[in-house]
Every structure is written in structure tokens, then in C-alpha cells.
Amino acid sequence: MSDMSFKITAQSATSRARTAELHVAHGTVVTPAFMPCASRGVVRACGSEDVAASGVQILVSNAYHLYLQPGMEVVEACGGLHRFMSWHGPVLTDSGGFQVFSLAGPKDIAEEGVTFRSPVDGNKILFTPELAVEIQNRLGSDVAMPLDECCPYPAERDYVQHSLERTLRWAERCQAAHGRDDQALFGIVQGGCYPDLRELSAAETARLDFPGYAIGGLSVGESREEMLEALRAAMSALPAEAPVHLMGVGTPLDIVDCAAEGVDLFDCVLPTRNARHGSVMTWAGPLRILNATYATDPRPLEEGCDCPCCRGLSRAYLRHLFKAKEPLAWRLLSLHNLRFYTDLMRRVREAIAADRLNDLRGHLSAWTQRDRS
């Protein structure tokens, strides 16, 4: 059994939204929380101290990526993932199922596992549930994920049902292979965009009695309405006292809507990926730093923001760095977007505690409309 604990601290009277404290080996995470992606042991262009200073509580890394490079043996020999990347807070690791399935064809998927060729050296690898757990055990993350089968979108119902059944069998194998009391192994819910299959997957995964649950296979091309319907169906069958991680969903409006359904943890590449493309998040709406209007703009990106990007640096200077392809631009814009996300999650938690999440949703809905205009 895992040493993890989860304590709900506030519950909305008008939705499933709640705030909570997730206690794991390397600290406590106040939820709802956003996890920046450190897939290869680094938040792209940012040092661990920078990320911690932005208010980030927990990171998500990827067992598949770290298995390929530098290898689980290297990370283990360096004292585990936390010490390897000099990160002192909690870390959740994904098994890498999404990445593995993106490299495999239908004939490469079998009951034993998934076969693919390494993009690093071309060697053939059989990725099994047991290997996925071994990697994460040796990395020493606080929360680990089982290997699951990731369905494409769209997919035929029969395929999705067979897939979720295989994911359940793999989940049992992962439980049997898991061997760390200081690491929590979550179960993963699949089921595509079929609400009844989502509910079935959630109910059967809950019967395996994991300490927490993840919902995978959403935000892969379906509409927001389909995503939310599938999420609601899954949430209806998961135990209310367990933490829930929604995998790969992370626009600000999606976070608010999914927090209202009871989701506790989010992860997405959006803050840092957008930064590398010159897209900056502010509470007045998205800002694209390459726009000519900022060429002589002396203002910071966001008045009142305390990130390194906004402390004394102008929009004009940041635009200059980006146009000059200076690596510093990636770092500064990424740290600003991370700070925006930690502020977003603080506002989400405060809104839940005050039962005013709809007010925050209204602001972000208008924010999203400005982004599309």
C-alpha cells in the first residue's frame, strides 16, 4: 500500500469542485494543481529553481523518455529522479503509453505489451506493463502510472471496448509488479468518447482499489462537449475520496470546467510550448510578442506580475530577444506563462472555497473569445 494521503479541505455546494491536500513522499500538493511537463527531466528552457520560484508545486515526467535517454540505470545511479534534476518537490511520472502507441502499428500491440523501434538508436523494444512499472520504481517518482492502451480519435466502439479491457488487465499486472511503498500507483480510465464505456472503465478500475485515478485519452481531437461528457461519465463512477488526474488537458477554460467536475490534477505542455512560439498568457488575454505593436512598448507583459520576465523588462525588449532568436526569450516567456498558471490555480482554489467558480469561468470565457478574434 502507498503512504500517500488525500484530504478534501473544501467542497463546492453547486458542483463537484473541491480543494484538497495531496500528501506524497516529497511533500504536499494543494489541489487543484497544475503540473508543468518535465518529460525528459527538465521543464523546457527552465531550471528547477526557476520553476519552483514560479510557484509550481509538482512536475510530471515521462518514464518512456527517461528510459530511452539517459536510461533508468543512469537516473537511479544518480540518486533517483528528484536528485537527478535537482527538484525537491513531488514528481508524477506517466508511463509513456501515449508516446509508445504513437510509434506502434496495430500489429505491434499484443497482450504481452507494445513493440516499437527506439527513435534514439533504432533498437526494437517490447514495452510491457511490468517494464513501465520497473522504470518508474527505479526513477523514484512520488506517483506512477500503469501502462494503458491509448485509443486514437475517432475509433470504433468495439475497438475502444477491447482496448479498455486490455488496459484493465494491464492495470492488474502493474499492481502486481509495483514494489514501492513511498510511491503511489494510480489507475487509468479509458473508454474514448463513449460515455457508457467511460463509466464502465472507471467502475472496473475503481474495483482494483488504486489510491488515485487518472483519466486518459481525452483532448486528442474531440470537441469540448465530447470531452466534458466523457469526463462526467468517468467521474460518476470513481470514488469521491480519491484524487483524480486529468491527463493532457490544460487550457485555462478547460481547467476551470474540469475542476468543476472534481478533477484535482492537470498537466499540459501548453505554457512552455506557447512561450516558445511567442504566445504569452496575461489576465487581459493572450499576447503575441512578435506583433509589431510591441516594438516600442515599454510596459511589462503584465502589470503586477512578479515573474522574472515582468520585473524590469519591457515588451519591446522581450520582442527583440524573440526576434533575435535568443534562448533567453524562451526561458523568460516560459517562466511568465508558468507564473500565470500557478496564479490561475490559486484563483481556482479560492473560487472553489468561495463557491464562485462560475465567476472565474465567465472571465476566462471572455478571455478565450478575445483569443479567437
CB half-sphere exposure, 28, CA atoms < 13 A: 8
| Beta strand extents in 3-155 (DSSP E only) | 5-11, 18-24, 27-31, 33-36, 59-62, 91-94, 114-117, 124-127, 143-144
SS3 label, residue 3: coil
DSSP state of 292: G
> Vertex 300, ends 297 and 301: CA angle to 5°?
100
Return left, alpha or beta for 107; rule: phi > 0 is left, psi -120 to 50 is alpha, else beta.
alpha
Do residues 214 and 147 make contact, with C-beta atoms less than 8 angstroms apart?
no
Is 355 marked active-site? no
Do residues 333 and 322 make contact, with C-beta atoms less than 8 angstroms apart?
yes
The residue annotated as part of the active site, out of 94, 142, 257, 343, is: 94
Is 267 marked active-site? yes
The residue annotated as part of the active site, out of 254, 257, 267, 343, is: 267
At which residue does the C-alpha cell 522504470 appear? 135
DSSP state of 368: H
Active site residues: 94, 267
